[in-house]
Structure 1
Amino acid sequence: MSRALTRLLYPLLLLGGVAALGAAWYAGGSSGAAPDARYVEGVAGRPRPVNPLLAPDESAAADLVALLFNGLMRVDGDGTPRPDLAERWEATPDGLTYTFVLRPGLAWHDGAPVTAQDVVFTVEMLQAEAFPGPLDRATRWHDVRVFAVDERTVVMHLPAAIPDFLVTAAQPLLPRHLLADVPAEALPQAAFNAAPVGTGPFRLDTLDEAHALLERNTSYHLGTPALRTFEVRFYRDAAQLLAALESGEVSAALLGERATDREAEVLEARPALTSTDLTRSAYTLLYLNNQVAPLDDPALRRAIEASLDIETLAGVLGDGALPAQGIFVPGSWAATDAPGRRTGEDIEALWAEAGWARSEPGGERTRDGQPLTLRLVTNADGDREALAEAVAEQLRAQGVTVEVEPLPAIRLLGEHLQPRTYQLAIFGWESGPDPDPYPGWHSSQISATGRNMAAFHDPEVDRWLEQARSTLDVGERQELYGRLEQRIAEQAAATVIAYPTRPYVHPVALAGFEAGLLFNASDRFRDVHRWRLAAP
C-alpha cells in the first residue's frame, strides 16, 4: 500500500453520498497487453437511470454513462476542455457564438450516424420546461440557442460570455433517432434507460439488477480500447462490495475518504495491488468574517492565520488530506505560482501590529483591557468537529479564547454563514473543471443567496474577477487569478486548510491509467480507452 487509508469523509454539504467502487481483472497471453483482457468493476448502488441527462453525479448510473457516452468536448485531468465528438471548435471574440464541427464518420453503437441534429435534440431536451433531470444540468443551457447548419456543424449563441462553456459542452449526447418521440416528462420511464445506446469506448451487451456487461467499441473515435470486456457488478452497499474485494471477486477499488480498518486489512493482504491517490477538486477552509468585528481588521486576520500550523491541521483530517496552499487545487489548469498564504513571518510581531498583546508570557491577549474571544462554528460532523478543536487549540496557545460550536448543517448555513453573522467558520468548497472564483470572492455575492461567505469586499478584486469572466484567454485568466490569490493572502481573507484525496486501489498490472483531478468519481474513466492489463 502507498499509505494508510484512514481519512476524512468529506462533509455532507460537500458530498452528496459517494459510492464505493472496485474492479477486478482477468487476463491471458504471455507478453505485452493481455489479448483477452477483461475488467470487472464493482459499484455500491444500482444504475437507475442510465441516461446522461438524468443520471445523478457520484452514482452507479454516472459510471456507466462515462463508459457509454460522449459529449462534443471532454475534460482532461487538469480541467482543460478538449475536443471529443467535435473535431474542432471556434468562438467569436466576444465569446457569444460557438461553432462545433463533428468528426467525420461518427456512429452510435447501433450503427446510426451521429449528426448535428443529435446535438440540437439533446440541448432542446435539457431546455424543455418539463425536463425532469437535475436542475443545475438544465440551468447551464438556459437561453442558449442552438442550430444545426449541416449534418456535422452546430452553431450555439449564448446570452452572455461564459468562460467555462466548453466544459458545459462536455454534456454527453442522446441519440435523436431513438428518443425523438419521447417527451421530456416521460424521459425517466423511457425503455432507453435500460438499454442505452451511446458513442463511448464501450457498448452495452447486457444490463440487469446484478451487472452490466460492456463490450469494447471497435469503432471508437479515440481508438479501439485494449480492454475487450468491461463488466460492472452492482452491490447493495459498501460492505457487500468490500466482501467481494476480500474474496477476490474484485481486485481494485476507488475508496471513500474515510476508510475502515477492515478495508485496510483487506487491501494490505493483496500484494498484487497498488494505490494511486486522486485529488478531489475541493477543499476545507477556515472562514474569517471580513465584515464582523474584530475580524474586520486585516491585521488581526493575518496574526490568526500565521498562528495556524496547516500541516498539523490537515493531518487531523487523515493522512490522505493534502495541506493546502490556496483556493486553486494543485493539478488544475488554474493553479498559480502566487502564494496562497503568507509564511515565515514573526508571529508575535503580527499580533503586536494588530494591537493584541499579552500582559505576561502565556497569558491571554487583550486590547484596551478587553480579552480576545472568538466563536468558531462548523457542521456537526466528527471530522469537522475534530478540526475545529485543533484550530481552537492552536489559537488558544496564542492567548485567544475560542469557543467551538458544532451545528446541524441547516442551522450552520441558515443562521450563521448565509447571514454572515459568524466570526470563524470551518466549511468546504467544491470546484468544477473551471474553478471560477467569482461566486466565492466577488462582493456581489455577499448576500443571502450568494456564496462569498468570507464577506470579502475589494473593488479591485471585483474588477479582476469580472475581467476573468469576460475573456477566453487562459493565460489572461491565470494572471488575474494569480493576483487574486496574492490579494487573499495579503488580506488573510480566509485560510484554506486541506485538499481531500481518494485512493484508487488497482492491480499493479494496470497500465495506461493516469491520475488526474476528480471532479466526479467517474472521472477516473476519462482515459479508459487507453487502459490495458499487462500479461503476467
Structure 2
Amino acid sequence: MNNIAAQIKANIPAVPRPRGVKLPAWAQRINEHLTTTERVLLAWLVVLLIISGILTVVGLVERNTRLIAEDGGTYSEAAVGQPRFINPVLAGTNDIDLDISRLVYSSLFKYDNELALQNDLATGYEISEDGKTYTVTVRSDVAWHDGESLTAEDVVFTIRSIQTPEYGSPLATDFSGVVVESPDNSTVVFTLEEPYAPFLSSLTVGIMPQHVWEDIAPANAALAEQTLRPVGSGPYQFAELKTRRKTGEVTEFVLARNEGYYGSHQYLDGISFTFFPTHEDALKAFAAGEVDGFGFLPLQLRDRADRSSAQVHRLLLPQYFGLFFNQENNPLLADSGIRNALSLAIDREAIVDEALKGEGESLHIPIPPGVFAFNEELGEPTVNIEAAIQNLEDAGWHDNDQDGVREKDDVRLHIKITTTDWPEYVRTVEMVQQQWLEIGVETEIEHYGPGTIQQTIIGPRDFEVLLFGEILRAEPDPYPFWHSKQVEAPGLNFSKFANKDVDKLLEDARTTTDQEARREKYKEFQGIILDLKPAIILYRPYYLFIATDKVRGIDANHAALAAGRFNNIEEWHVNVKRVWQSK
C-alpha cells in the first residue's frame, strides 16, 4: 500500500502555493493526518462536488428560464436558376421569382400554414347574395418601401395590369371578365360575370405600386429595371443586386428588413438568395457552410445533405400524382374490369417507401388531406392480387401459353406507361410494371424530359397511361382537371374523362356560395372518380427544403405553393436569449 501511495505521490505534480497564503489551522491539522492517497481522493471529491454544483445551477437555470427569439442575424438561401421578374403580375412560372415576390410584396389575402385564408392588406370583405360581387376593404396604414402610401388604387392597377394582354401575365385567366373598381381609397369592388366560389384565392396575388409602374409601357414591363429592383410593401425590401461583370448573371439578391412593415415584427435583419447553375452546386455550397439553407432539395440528393446541422423540412402542397388512362389510345383501358384489376394490384405504400424514399404519402382520391373538401370517408383501397386476377379471369383474360402475360382473342394484355425522366417517377412506373406483371399485365415504359413531354405527349394526349402530377389551388377547383370541356389542351383533363354527373357537380360546386353544399358536391365527385377509375391516384410527394439548425422558428406544414414555406417568415430567427419564466 505504501509503495502504491509513493508511486501516486511521485506522479502528482506539486501545486505551488501562492506566497503569503496559509491554510487555516483546521485544514493544516486535517492535512497532517491524511495519507497521500486520502489527499488525492479528497481532491477528487472536491472536484466532483464543484461539478455537481455547477450542473445543479445549470439545471435550475434551464428549468426556470426559456429561450426566446431576438432581433438580428440574417438567413441566406441557395437557389437554382436566375431571378427574372420580381413582379407579381409576371412571376407566375418561375419559382425563384415567386419566392422573392412572396417576401417583397403583400396581397389582399394570404394563406397560413394550414391553408386557411387570412387577411393581409384586406381588413374584411363582403360577398353579394348572387355571388358575383366581392367588396374588399383595404388597410389604411400601409406604406410602400419607398414611403408612399398604399391605397385601393394600387389594387385596381395591379388587377388591370394582369388583364392587359401586352403584359402577358400568366394570371390573366384568373381575372378574365372581372371588373375591378375603387370607389374610395380603402375599398375595392370586384364584379364577376358568373359566380366563382374560389375567387378569394385569386386575391392572394401580390399588389404592385401604381406610382412605380404606371409610366412603364406594359409591353416593356419585362425589361424594366424595377423587375429586379422591386418596390413592394412586404416584410422585406430590396437592398442589393450582385451580378457577374462579364455575363451579367445575378449571383446574389439581398433583402433587408422592412422597418415600416404593418404586420408582425420580423426578427431577421435580412434575407439573401445565392444562385447556382445546378442543384448539386447548391447542395455543395450548403454543405460547405456558404449558405444557411437550400430552397428545394431534390429527392435524389436528400441523402447527400450530410451537413451535421442540416434540418430537412417537409412541405405539403395541394397536389397529387396518378396514372391517367387514355382509353382512346388503348381500347383495353375502356374495360372497367381491367381498370379495377390494375387498381387492385397497386401497392401505394410500397411505391412511396421505395420510389419516394418515404418522402410522401399515399393517396387515392383527387383532393388530398388538408385541402378543403377532402373526403376522409373514402378509405384507401387495399392491395388484393387474388381479386385482381379474378377480375381478369372473369373478363376472359388467361395466360394460356404460361409466359406470364395474359391474352384474349390472340391479343396480349399490353399497356404502355409514359412519364418524365425524374428518377423518382421512373422508379414509380418500374414498380407499377412489377406489380402489374404479378397479375399478368405486360407493361412498356417510356420517359421524356419535362419540356418534351409537355409538347409532344401531354398536349396532343399521345399516351396510353401517363404518370403525372396535378397541382390544385389551395381552395380546390377540380373543374380544369376533370370536366369534359377540358379534355383538349390547354385543358388538364388528361384522361379525357367525360361524365355528366361529374360535370354537373363541378359546375355547381364552383358557383355555389354555400360552403357546406360545395363540400358535399366535391365529396361526391371524389367518390365517382374512385369508383369509375379514369385514373389511379397514387401519392402526394413532400416538397423538401433544408436549413441549418441555427435557423429557428420555421413552421412549414401546408402551403399553396413552394414559396409558402415563407408563410411565417416573421417568426424565423437565428438569435436567441434566455429569460426567466414567470411563475
Where on the TM-score scale, by shorter chain, does this alignment land: which range?
0.7 to 0.9
Map Cα deviations across residues 8-30 of structure 1 (whole Å, 9 max, x no partner).
Answer: xxxxxxxxxxxxxxxxxxxxxx9
- Name the residue aligned to 1:104: 140
CA–CA distance in 2 between the matches of 1:201 and 1:407? 40
Residues 83 and 228, structure 2, Cα contact 8 Å, conserved in 1: no
- Name the residue aligned to 2:210: 176
**2:275 pairs with 234, 249, 255, which one?**
234
- Name the residue aligned to 2:284: 243
Superposition pairs for residues 62-73 of structure 1, below 5 Å? 62-73=98-109
Q: SS of 1:342's equivalent?
A: coil
Residues 368 and 374, structure 2, Cα contact 8 Å, conserved in 1: yes
Residue 229 and residue 309 in structure 1: after superposition, are their counterparts in 2 closer, same or farther (change >3 A)? Answer: same
CA–CA distance in 2 between the matches of 1:215 and 1:396? 57
- Name the residue aligned to 2:476: 435
Map Cα deviations across residues 211-269 of structure 1 (whole Å, 9 max, x no partner).
Answer: 33323223322212122222333345434433321221213223333333xx634x323
Which residue identity does 2:562 align to in structure 1? A
CA–CA distance in 2 between the matches of 1:407 and 1:491? 29
Residue 313 and residue 238 in structure 1: after superposition, are their counterparts in 2 closer, same or farther (change >3 A)? Answer: closer
Residue 264 and residue 389 in structure 1: after superposition, are their counterparts in 2 closer, same or farther (change >3 A)? Answer: closer
Map Cα deviations across residues 402-429 of structure 1 (whole Å, 9 max, x no partner).
Answer: 3334467677667765666744332332
Residue 378 of structure 1: how far off its partner (Å): 0.5
Unaligned runs of 5+ in 1: 1-29
Map Cα deviations across residues 266-301 of structure 1 (whole Å, 9 max, x no partner).
Answer: x3232x332221233333211233455332222221
- Name the residue aligned to 2:418: 378
- Name the residue aligned to 1:12: none
Residues 374 and 424, structure 1, Cα contact 8 Å, conserved in 2: no
Larger mean CA deviation between 57-66 and 155-164 belongs to: 57-66
Residue 154 of structure 1: how far off its partner (Å): 0.8
Residue 518 of structure 1: how far off its partner (Å): 4.4
**2:71 pairs with 8, 19, 35, which one?**
35
Residue 74 and residue 233 in structure 1: after superposition, are their counterparts in 2 closer, same or farther (change >3 A)? Answer: same
Residues 327 and 340, structure 1, Cα contact 8 Å, conserved in 2: no
Q: SS of 1:98's equivalent?
A: strand
Q: TM-score, normalised by structure 1?
A: 0.84
Identity over aligned residues, as a percent?
A: 27
- Name the residue aligned to 2:47: none
Superposition pairs for residues 126-275 of structure 1, below 5 Å? 126-131=162-167, 133-134=168-169, 136-209=170-243, 210-260=251-301, 264-265=303-304, 267-270=305-308, 272-275=309-312
Which residue identity does 2:318 align to in structure 1? S
CA–CA distance in 2 between the matches of 1:199 and 1:412? 39
Residue 201 and residue 421 in structure 1: after superposition, are their counterparts in 2 closer, same or farther (change >3 A)? Answer: closer
Please say if 1:287 is aligned against 2:324. Answer: yes
Please say if 1:90 is aligned against 2:126. Answer: yes
CA–CA distance in 2 between the matches of 1:409 and 1:178? 36
Residues 97 and 158, structure 1, Cα contact 8 Å, conserved in 2: yes
Number of residue pairs aligned between Structure 1 and Structure 2: 500
Residue 534 of structure 1: how far off its partner (Å): 5.2
Residue 70 of structure 1: how far off its partner (Å): 0.8
CA–CA distance in 2 between the matches of 1:420 and 1:236? 32
Residue 242 and residue 389 in structure 1: after superposition, are their counterparts in 2 closer, same or farther (change >3 A)? Answer: closer
Residue 456 and residue 235 in structure 1: after superposition, are their counterparts in 2 closer, same or farther (change >3 A)? Answer: closer
Unaligned runs of 5+ in 2: 1-65, 244-250, 578-583
CA–CA distance in 1 between the matches of 2:289 and 2:449? 40
Please say if 1:365 is aligned against 2:371. Answer: no
Map Cα deviations across residues 24-72 of structure 1 (whole Å, 9 max, x no partner).
Answer: xxxxxx9421332322223333333322222353443332211110111
Please say if 1:75 is aligned against 2:111. Answer: yes
Larger RCO: 1 or 2 (CA < 8 Å, sep 6+): 1
Which residue identity does 1:107 align to in structure 2? A
Q: SS of 2:165's equivalent?
A: coil
Residues 44 and 234, structure 1, Cα contact 8 Å, conserved in 2: yes
Residue 492 and residue 113 in structure 1: after superposition, are their counterparts in 2 closer, same or farther (change >3 A)? Answer: same
RMSD of aligned Cα (Å):
2.9
